[in-house]
């Protein structure tokens, strides 16, 4: 196993912070009470009500996979790739449930689409970073 450069470790640490923020967001989402949901704007209430349970579970897989994947990158372990693949798959399933299966004929609006697109691009970039690290023998 070769020594990983400083930029790789810094990037993995920043990515871990990103995923920890996502983990906190999912935990906050799971803890919303009926009163909290009733206080949301009507469009967000409709999206929350229409979201299938498996999409919520996929959100958990996405952030837990991303968090574990980043920890694996920092620990320079090859299993990090599997966790990052799980994260990307979780995001795809989450978005399928959120945007496609919700049945919202008016669409979710552009803000959620842009934000989820950014989340997906970052997850794919992290997976690419993991593959780059594996090719360079930075992961063992």
Low-confidence ranges of the chain (pLDDT < 70): 102-108
Q: Is the pTM of the predicted complex or chain greater than 0.95? A: no
| CA gap 35, 104 in Å, rounded | 22
Q: What is the pLDDT of residue 119?
A: 96
Give the tens place of pLDDT for each residue, 25-41: 999 989 988 888 889 88
Q: What is the pLDDT of residue 93?
A: 95
DSSP state at residue 51: S
- DSSP character string of 10-43: HHHHHHHHHHHHHHHHHHHHHT--HHHHHTS-HH
Other CB atoms within 10 A of residue 140 CB: 10
Tokens of 47: 């999206």
Q: What is the pLDDT of residue 106?
A: 53
What residues does each domain of the chain span? 6-135
Straight-line distance from the first to the last Cα atom of the chain, in angstroms, rounded to the nearest whole number: 6
| CA gap 69, 76 in Å, rounded | 10
């Amino acid at each position: 196993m070769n020594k990983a450069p400083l930029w790789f470790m810094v990037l993995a640490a920043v990515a871990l912070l990103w995923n920890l923020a996502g983990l906190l967001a999912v935990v906050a989402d799971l803890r919303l009470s009926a009163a909290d949901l009733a206080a949301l704007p009507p469009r967000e209430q409709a999206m929350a009500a229409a979201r299938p349970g498996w999409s919520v579970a996929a959100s958990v897989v996405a952030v837990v996979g991303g968090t574990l994947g980043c920890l694996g990158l920092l620990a320079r372990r090859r299993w990090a790739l599997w966790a990052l693949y799980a994260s990307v798959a979780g995001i795809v399933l989450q978005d399928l449930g959120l945007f496609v299966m919700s049945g919202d004929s008016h669409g979710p609006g552009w803000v959620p689409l842009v934000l989820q697109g950014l989340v997906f691009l970052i997850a794919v970039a992290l997976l690419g970073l993991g593959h780059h690290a594996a090719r360079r023998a930075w992961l063992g």
